[in-house]
Structures are given as structure tokens and as C-alpha cells.
A and B are shown apart, each in its own frame.
Chain A
């Protein structure tokens, strides 16, 4: 089997504190999305569609959920006789006084990159949900003048927050720096800003050099910082992505993006576009709708059992919604159960939440209530406490 022209690095060490409590025991990469997927399915599917054979997954601190989901990589056709998915354990990078750990952090990357034998490497995260064609980015890179290529999407100002990473673009369309939105100037009169999608593409040898140099330094810098510095020092080609993009870095954005999948155009653009989105499938039974069930404007996973009403919501597999229960503008993850007569509105229910009978749990559109994994609620007062904790 020939080796791929491109290798991929997925860095799952993404900042989770703005997504607590959903990220208490999982990284952003394994957050459930759109009734069926995990966020990491999107980069992995892009990788498969681009015929990439070597993928390095750099594990976050809570790596169990990643291992559970990835297994052999078979769901993404990555259980290959040569190449495949390589999982690298979490290295306690905060302890950067320790020379050995620091060296190991860089070595994990360089060892994978040398072994891949690929001429180019794409580096991605998992928090930008998109349907990207990596081969188009590779072709753009080859045609460009710079040693590194970055990917962005133009977003209207009202969808940008001060801490979002953006590209400083020159008149010629190259990126001179990656800066947070609050550090931008010269944006007067513009109503769109190039939002950076955490995707870099560069020659594998350049990436190895960058990591080897960093290993010699006494100042610890993680890969994303090294790459940002590299863009600042060298300028970058800037590839414009025009499809659907959701940036999952806060509870509100997570909630809004899930519900945005109820918009036909967004659904089609992300899930029925050029890259088929692959995920681990379970042998789940079909979903069952009882005599008085009502399901409108909603996404549903398999194995759900609906007796009540679901509207404007995203419901994952194996959820049970009993008689006279109402699920409205909610994201309900797998295995949750809503008992007879209860209402759940403007809320996110993590996996395995149980809502007792005749309860009313209502958040706000701009501040959804979040119930933790396996939380059981039998009194409304329990929820108020946890929602504002």
C-alpha cells in the first residue's frame, strides 16, 4: 500500500473550561453533536475523504472517551495494514519545568511525522465543526508562495467574540498573523471578519524542524503556539472555506449550533455535502413513535422511544420521552429519560439524565440549563441549584 501524500495531526488538547460541566469527563473532541455525531467525526471524515493514511491523535487529559469512540479507526476506514490511527497519550504539559516531559511532548509529534513518510501534514483541532475538502487545501498550498497555509471562514461581526482567533489578511490575501478579535484594528467599515478554523497545512519536514527547534528551547511552547509564531514569522497562504462552520467553545455556542442543524440549509451543508460524515455506528433498533407522539422540527437518533412531544430539539439515540412530556428547544443526549408530564425547555441534557414526572425545567434561550451526565432530577429545586452553580 502506498503511503499518503499527506499525514494528519489532530490535537485534542483544547481548552475545556468554557464548556463545563459538559467537558468534565470528555474533551471537546468527543462532545456529541447533531443527534448522532461526536465533534472528532468531522476532522476524521475529512481525513478519510482526502485519502490520508496516517493520523496522529494527540490525546487530552480525559482520553477514555476518545479511545472508546475511535477503537481501531474502522468506522473511518482507518484500520489499515499500513498507517492508520496512532494514539499518543496525554503528556502533562503544564509541568514544563520537567525536561524529560518537555522532550517527550515534542518527540511524540516528530516520531509520528517521521514515520508517516508523507510529504505534507495537516494539523487540525476538533472544535471547529465543518465539512472541509483537505485535498483542495493541499492544492491551494502547493500553488501558494508561503511555507504554511491557514484556513478561515468569513463570519459576520455579530458572530465573532473578542477571544476568537482570526486571521490578519493582507491586500494580497495572505495571512500575516493569527490574532484574537479583540487585538484587531483596521476593521472599520468591514462587516465580516476572517475567522481562523485551527487548520494548518505545511511540509512535514518544516513541521519537524519547528518541533526540533522548540525542543532545544528552555521556554515551553505547545504546538498551536509554535504554529501561530511560525505564521507571524513567515506569513501564510490563506484558504477561504465557504461551507457551514460552527465553533464549539462555549455552552451557548454548543447549544445554538446543535439547534442550527434544524435549519435545512445548515443540515445539508454540513451533513450531506462533499465529505460524507462517518461515525461509529451502533446496532440500535429503529426509533418508535407511539399513538400520541408528536415530533416536529427535530433531529432524532435511533433507538428512541417517543410517547410525548418533541419540537425544535435535537435528541440523540436511546432517549425515552414518556406520555404528556414536552421537549422543546432542547439538546437531549443519549440514554436520557423524561418522565410523564414533564417539560424540558431551553436545556441541554447530558448522557443518561433522568427527569422525574411532572417537573418543569425551563432555561432561557440565551442561557440554557445544563444537566450533568447521569444526573437524576426529582425536584425542580435540584435543577435551579445546578444550573446556576
Chain B
């Protein structure tokens, strides 16, 4: 059996910059946009692109993520002979196989990849919000006769200092790569999306680990090695909505952007749907005192208060007299009566008691952690 292109999602990172929100869960399983989790975008892109064999590499706090992904059926990825496999570190006769970096995680899962004998391997992160057709990127990869294609998108020069920046020639071939440069020479940022020809990648990784063992990271180690060896390495330009939601601020911003009816992500497009695990919840209930504007609400929610420019995820309760403004409320949170929530992210299963206040600022978002209970008049 052979699969043309195998997807590998790197979902093992800790996501420390999300603070409380990733204390007990991996970043890709953090809720987004009312009824999604961050990884749904990547999994739906795979399904919509016709890539139906996918390994999800998990390591940090994987319980919730594993439970969410299961066998991939929610994204239509459970076809016979294909499907989603959760790949976790394991012990073997050569020792424990914890993942030291992105490339190392692929190296440790070579047996899984080889079992499908793919020609190409598509490497993805599980923590970006975007819609992308990987099939078109593969067509580009083939047309350029590349052994590595890196998806890039233009960013501002200030932002460029936070990314891996590619310098390309006029055929899109990458001639130089700088990781988080102080003085960027280009504005093409790596999106952390790679298509590799599997045979050469495997050789680079195997050779490296059988000698000095340095190839831990794609950005730091693998791409420089490819350039040094003159491998045909190309940049595939992406022009669409793409958001790294690795910080509280960017997660909040992406949710607020999601609320805009003109969001280029176009979530309601039925030709490129974002799927998620669905649960049969009761319809939304709005009482006589409810007031909801410029907002999104999801099933199972009960609203008796005022919701302005905010997202309520599944099963959220908002009591009478409460006001929620410019905030993202995650699933199963309970907001009592006469509560004020402003510029905040409220975690799953959190409780804000009657008269509570959770008030942040546009540049300093307040966060209530998963299952956290906030009583009266407490500042987050």
C-alpha cells in the first residue's frame, strides 16, 4: 500500500505563551471561534485537500487533544486504509523516544511514515487559524521539481523579526533563510508548513542521527542543511487569512477578527467547511432580558444578560444583569448574575460568580483558566 502524500501534524508543543489556558491541555486543543478547537482548521484543511492519512504527534498534556481527534471521523478522515493515528512518545529497545524538536519528532516516527510508503510528507503545525488547499501546494512542489517546499506569506518588517524569513530568487527558489532575524532582508515568513520528498528527508535525518545527532528542528537545522547541500528548495506563497494563535493577545485578536462578517476566513463557505467534533446540545435559549449584538453564540448556551462583540462557545450560561464585551467565553463556562466581563478570555468550565468582574484592556487581556472559579469583585 502506498499513500502519495502523508500529513504529519506537530501538536506536541507546550504553548507556554498561552499561560493558564495550556496549563493542563495542549495548544491545538484550545477552543476557538465558538465551536472549534484550534487543530480543527488544520484537520479540516487536510480533509478538504484530499489528504486522508494523517499522523498527529502529541506529547504535552495530550489527553484532551486525543479525545478530540479520536480516529478522525469528525473530519471525514476515517476511510478504510487511511485515517488519523495519534503518535505519542514511546519507549523502545533503544531507549525512550521523547521528542526534542520538530524534526526529531518526525525522526522518531519514521516507522509510522514508512508503513505508508509515501512519496511526499506534508508537515504541519496544529496551532494556526487558516484555510489552505495543500493539493495546490503539492502541485507547485511537483512543478518546481523541489525536494522541499516551504509555505510562506508576506508579513510586515516589524513582524518579520518573529518568524523564519526566506530570501528567494525570481523563480521562488529559496537562497537564504534566517530564523528570527534582527534585520530581515525579506518579508516572506515561513508558516511552518513543509512538503518534503520523503526519501531524501529520511536520509538527512538518518545520517544526522547516526553521526552527530543535530537535526532537531526544521527551521534551525533541516532547512539550513538543505540549502547548504543545494537541494531544490522553494517558497510557496500563500495569500489568505493566517493567524498564529500562540499568545493570549493573538488568540484574543483572532477570535475578535472571527466575529467580523467580512473576515477573509469566510467560515460560512460551504465549499471549504471547518469540521469539528459535534455534540447534540439543546438549542440556544434567549430569555426576555437577553441582548446580543455583533456576537456569535453556539448551541447549548443560555443567555439572560447582555453580550456585545463577543463569542459564546457551547453550553455557556450568562445570567441576568451580566454584561460581556469584547470577550471570548470557552465551552461550559458559567457566568452568574450582574457580572462584568470586558476584554477577557474565560476558560472552559470556568465559573464567574454573581457580581464578579473580569476586566482586561485591549493590550492586556484578562484570562480565567480552565475550571477556575472567580467569586465576587475579583480581578483576574
Taking Cβ atoms with an 8 Å cutoff, the residues of A that contact B are 34-36, 75, 264, 267, 271-272, 276-283, 285-303, 314
Whether B173 is near chain A, meaning CB under 8 Å from some CB there, is no
* Contact (Cβ within 8 A) B283 A289: no
Given contacts A288-B296, A297-B287, contact A75 B282 (CB under 8 A): no
Contact pick for A289, options B276, B287, B289, B297, CB 8 Å: B297
* Contact (Cβ within 8 A) B297 A272: no
Contact pick for B290, options A34, A36, A285, A295, CB 8 Å: A295
Q: Give the residues in chain B near A285, CB-CB below 8 Å.
A: 34-35, 267-268, 274
- Known A264-B287, A285-B35; 14 more pairs at CB < 8 Å: A75-B280, A283-B274, A283-B275, A286-B34, A286-B297, A286-B311, A287-B297, A289-B293, A289-B296, A296-B286, A296-B288, A299-B286, A300-B297, A302-B298
Given contacts A272-B282, A286-B297, A286-B298, contact A295 B292 (CB under 8 A): yes
* Whole-angstrom CA separation of A302 from B267 in the bound complex: 13
**Within the complex, what minimum Cβ distance (angstroms) separates A267 from chain B?**
7
* Contact (Cβ within 8 A) A296 B273: no
Given contacts A279-B280, A302-B299, contact A267 B275 (CB under 8 A): no
Q: Give the residues in chain B near A278, CB-CB below 8 Å.
A: 280
**Within the complex, what minimum Cβ distance (angstroms) separates B304 from chain A?**
10
Q: Give the residues in chain B near A301, CB-CB below 8 Å.
A: 283-284, 299
**Within the complex, what minimum Cβ distance (angstroms) separates B307 from chain A?**
8
* CB closest chain-B residue, reference A33: B283
Q: List 27 A-B contacts (CB under 8 A).
A: A35-B283, A35-B284, A36-B299, A281-B280, A283-B276, A285-B35, A285-B267, A285-B268, A285-B274, A286-B297, A288-B295, A289-B294, A289-B307, A290-B293, A290-B294, A291-B294, A293-B292, A296-B287, A297-B286, A299-B284, A300-B297, A301-B283, A301-B284, A301-B299, A302-B35, A302-B299, A314-B283
Taking Cβ atoms with an 8 Å cutoff, the residues of B that contact A are 33-35, 261, 267-268, 273-276, 278-280, 282-299, 307, 311
**Within the complex, what minimum Cβ distance (angstroms) separates B162 from chain A?**
30
* CB closest chain-A residue, reference B33: A286
* Contact (Cβ within 8 A) B278 A281: yes
**Within the complex, what minimum Cβ distance (angstroms) separates B120 from chain A?**
28
* Contact (Cβ within 8 A) B280 A289: no
* Contact (Cβ within 8 A) A300 B280: no
**Within the complex, what minimum Cβ distance (angstroms) separates B78 from chain A?**
12
* Contact (Cβ within 8 A) B261 A288: yes
* Whole-angstrom CA separation of A347 from B291 in the bound complex: 24
Q: Give the residues in chain B near A287, CB-CB below 8 Å.
A: 284, 296-298
**Within the complex, what minimum Cβ distance (angstroms) separates B72 from chain A?**
14
* Contact (Cβ within 8 A) A294 B291: yes
Find the residue from A271, A281, A282 having the highest chain B CB count within 10 A: A281
Q: Give the residues in chain B near A302, CB-CB below 8 Å.
A: 35, 284, 298-299
Contact pick for A277, options B274, B282, B290, CB 8 Å: B282
Find the residue from A294, A295, A303 having the highest chain B CB count within 10 A: A295
Q: Give the residues in chain A near B268, CB-CB below 8 Å.
A: 285, 303
* CB closest chain-B residue, reference A34: B283
**Within the complex, what minimum Cβ distance (angstroms) separates A72 from chain B?**
11
* CB closest chain-A residue, reference B76: A283
Find the residue from B275, B278, B285 having the highest chain A CB count within 10 A: B285
Q: Give the residues in chain B near A303, CB-CB below 8 Å.
A: 268
**Within the complex, what minimum Cβ distance (angstroms) separates A361 from chain B?**
23
**Within the complex, what minimum Cβ distance (angstroms) separates B26 from chain A?**
22
Find the residue from B273, B274, B284, B298 having the highest chain A CB count within 10 A: B284
Q: Give the residues in chain B near A279, CB-CB below 8 Å.
A: 280
* Contact (Cβ within 8 A) A271 B282: yes
6 tightest A-B CB contacts, nearest first:
A35-B283, A281-B278, A286-B34, A286-B296, A36-B283, A299-B283
**Within the complex, what minimum Cβ distance (angstroms) separates A261 from chain B?**
8
* Whole-angstrom CA separation of A314 from B285 in the bound complex: 10
